[in-house]
């Protein structure tokens, strides 16, 4: 009875902050928020939808005072379990805070709330001849706040950099409820780069409530082409050769045979279904430079075995080519009920070797694998296809993923390029960091007044009650927690 009374009291307090209609707590409502884009699940006890910074601060202070876990959440498209409420508690969903507060075309920047959808910012900036560069494949639904939390990338980050390169300042609510600004509207602010430290902190240091981001001029000219290869090895060689030539395309993506099989069923695009791989390449900038660089790219692709090169002749052609790439993950549902997407980074020169070893690992576990990834910067996304309804497959797919992560590190790479560590890869942190490194990172978390109840069990394996790794079958048993 005491636990029920405590839970009722907490829900009542949250309703007093945001209104009863913006607090969810019934079991059927909680099911919708037990997962994100990863394959782990855990039920929260309550979900709250604030609309202002002050409401966020009040919620955080309330959770802090009663020692209840709190988990920030954007659109729920994250791919490393960052929004999974492992210990139950309060999920703070920021989708109501979706205003673009200012677009400043003179200074080429915008001030936005965290729930602004990534693509909407570029659409609103377009009349000023500007756009927001980072473009995750989920950009039609993912939010700026979530992008900041995970330091998201995207196809066009090869030439322009990931989210951290485009954030000038942040208003954040710290885990004790204090509201502070990090950075500001000017570049190269004096003092420690706390903004850069916060970007990619995955909700463990605080909650973003406003962001000042850079906008870039829309390119004068864009050329998009697809190079078709019989073998994925030839496509991999072309990737290294293009970068080695000194041409840095805006985007350089690879799509393998299995992914093509899914895409041609789902999207109106004429990718050749018998190809071993295709490269989707985009060059942008001044018209003269684009013509010169695209010709150089085409020549390299042909020299390294491209059997065909298709160039988008119209904006509609370009949109179709990109729709195929950005819709690739959704299309994989035509091949299997589930997929486990990985996010390793390797040197471009090791692409052939690593892709071959990825295939060998998946063959040994009897899984198909679909590769669609940011080849230009070596950011791999093997998608292991499986069926969670078959006993043992969820455990085995994680074991296969762990071996692939180890391969990435062995060749001089790392465990994440843009999806974050979150819950999924915290057990792999020891592959790239020493105990002293991790202890130093935990001191940084402590400096932000963070506590183990603030987005618990993310990034580090050392938090109490979180276990030493990610084991999908145990996650549902961890929530709802017993402290409400």
pLDDT confidence of residue 467: 56
Q: Are 279 and 324 in contact (CB under 8 A)?
A: no
Residue with tokens 């330091």: 151
Q: What's the pLDDT tens digit per position in 271-313?
A: 898 999 999 999 999 999 999 999 999 999 999 999 999 999 9
H helix or E strand, kind and range, residue 383: strand 382-386
For the cut 80, the answer to whether the pLDDT of residue 482 exceeds it is no
H helix or E strand, kind and range, residue 379: strand 379-380
Spell out the domains of the chain, with CATH numbers in brackets.
Answer: 2-95+442-478 (3.30.43.10), 100-217 (3.30.465.10), 221-330 (3.30.70.2190), 336-420 (3.30.70.2740)
Q: What are phi and psi of 133, to 5 degrees?
A: -70, -55
Residue with tokens 């997962």: 35
Number of residues written out for the chain = 484
pTM recorded for the entire structure: 0.93
Which tokens belong to 468? Answer: 């030493």
Q: What's the pLDDT tens digit per position in 144-167?
A: 999 999 999 999 999 999 999 999
DSSP secondary structure string, 176-243? TS-EEEEE-SSSS-SS--HHHHHTTSTTSS-EEEEEEEE-EEPPSEEEEEEEEESSHHHHHHHHHHHH
Q: What angle do CA 428, 432, 434 make, to 5 degrees?
A: 100
Torsion of CA 23, 25, 30, 36, to 10 degrees: 40
For residue 111, the cross-strand partners are: 102, 212
Of 213-217, 308-312, 463-467, the one with minimum mean pLDDT is 463-467
Which tokens belong to 295? Answer: 């010709």
For residue 82, give Cα distances in angstroms to 56, 125, 412, 416: 18, 29, 25, 13
Tell me the C-alpha distance between 157 and 169, whole Å.
Answer: 20
For the cut 50, the answer to whether the pLDDT of residue 469 exceeds it is no
pLDDT confidence of residue 278: 97
Torsion of CA 256, 261, 264, 265, to 10 degrees: -150
Q: What are phi and psi of 310, to 5 degrees?
A: -115, 130
Tell me the C-alpha distance between 146 and 111, whole Å.
Answer: 15
């Amino acid at each position: 009875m005491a636990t029920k009374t405590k839970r009722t009291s907490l829900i009542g307090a949250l309703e007093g902050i945001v209104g009863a209609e913006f607090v969810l707590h019934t079991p059927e409502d909680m099911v919708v928020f037990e997962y994100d884009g990863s394959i782990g699940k855990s039920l929260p006890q309550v979900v709250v939808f604030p609309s202002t910074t002050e409401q966020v601060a009040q919620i955080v202070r309330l959770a802090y005072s009663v020692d209840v876990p709190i988990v920030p959440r954007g659109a729920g498209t994250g791919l490393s379990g960052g929004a999974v409420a492992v210990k139950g508690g309060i999920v703070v969903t920021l989708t109501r805070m979706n205003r673009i507060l200012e677009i400043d075309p003179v200074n080429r920047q915008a001030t936005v709330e965290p729930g602004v959808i990534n693509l909407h910012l570029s659409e609103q900036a377009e009349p000023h001849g500007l756009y927001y560069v980072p473009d995750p494949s989920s950009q039609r639904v993912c939010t700026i706040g979530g992008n900041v939390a995970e330091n998201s990338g995207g196809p066009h980050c090869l030439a322009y950099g990931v989210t951290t390169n485009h954030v000038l300042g942040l208003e954040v609510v710290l885990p004790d409820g204090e509201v502070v600004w990090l950075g500001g509207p000017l570049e190269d602010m004096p003092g420690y780069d706390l903004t850069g430290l916060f970007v990619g902190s995955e909700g463990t240091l605080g909650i973003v409530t406003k962001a000042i981001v850079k906008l870039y001029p829309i390119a004068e000219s864009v050329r998009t082409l697809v190079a078709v290869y019989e073998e994925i090895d030839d496509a991999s060689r072309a990737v290294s050769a293009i970068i080695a030539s000194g041409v840095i395309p805006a985007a350089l993506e690879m799509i393998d045979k299995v992914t093509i099989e899914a895409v041609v069923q789902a999207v109106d695009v004429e990718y050749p279904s018998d190809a071993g791989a295709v490269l989707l390449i985009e060059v942008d900038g001044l018209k003269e430079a684009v013509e010169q660089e695209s010709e150089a790219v085409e020549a390299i692709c042909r020299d390294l075995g491209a059997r065909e090169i298709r160039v988008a002749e119209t904006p509609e052609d370009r949109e179709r080519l990109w729709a195929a790439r950005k819709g690739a993950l959704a299309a994989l549902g035509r091949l299997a009920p589930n997929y486990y997407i990985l996010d390793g980074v390797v040197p471009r020169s090791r692409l052939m070797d690593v892709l071959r070893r990825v295939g060998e690992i998946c063959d040994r576990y009897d899984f198909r694998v679909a590769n669609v990834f940011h080849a230009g910067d070596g950011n791999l996304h093997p998608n292991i296809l499986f069926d969670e309804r078959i006993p043992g497959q969820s455990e085995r797919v994680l074991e296969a993923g762990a071996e692939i992560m180890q391969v990435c590190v062995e060749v001089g790479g790392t465990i994440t390029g843009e999806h974050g560590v979150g819950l999924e890869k915290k057990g792999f942190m020891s592959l790239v960091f020493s105990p002293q490194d991790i202890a130093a990172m935990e001191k940084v978390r402590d400096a932000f007044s963070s506590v183990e109840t603030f987005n618990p069990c993310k990034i580090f394996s050392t938090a109490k009650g979180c276990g030493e790794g990610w084991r999908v079958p145990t996650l549902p048993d961890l929530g709802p927690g017993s402290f409400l």
